[in-house]
Amino acid sequence: MYAARKTYQTLSVASRIEAAGPHELVAILYEELLRALDVTRAALLQGKPEALRQGRERASSILIALEASLDFERGGTLAPSLGRIYRSMQKELAAFGNEPRAERLEAVRKGVGDLLGAWVQIAVRQAA
């Protein structure tokens, strides 16, 4: 059952990516980052070190992709601000790797949730 659900999720994300514009792609990355953080937290609570490492590495990779996608020429003050936020989250994940505590993940997760909410609002305003 788990493998089938995972395959469906992968196909669903792949379909969304194919049809997405730049703003939607960022929203998808935020959603996938939240999912990676949730997997990491579950692995921490269940005492599964390999799943914990994989989840943390996935979250870190997504943050790197988000930072790499920033457009500093057209992004105004938003791009450098987001860059600082992403680097701060990266540092928190690195600290979590050395000292796994749920509070560290929750802080990053809250920040990502806030970013996703703001990003969706920007997309709605631009579409109007």
Are 90 and 33 contacting, i.e. CB atoms less than 8 angstroms apart?
A: no
In tens, the pLDDT along 2-60 reads: 555 554 455 455 556 565 577 788 889 999 999 999 999 999 999 999 999 999 999 99
Number of domains in the chain: 1
Residue 29 lies in a domain: yes
What are the C-alpha distances in Å from 15 to residues 19, 53, 65, 100, 106? 7, 27, 19, 34, 29
Residue 16 lies in a domain: no
pLDDT band per the 50, 70, 90 thresholds, residue 75: confident
Mean pLDDT of all residues belonging to the chain = 87
The domain in which residue 55 lies consists of 21-127
Residue 70 lies in a domain: yes
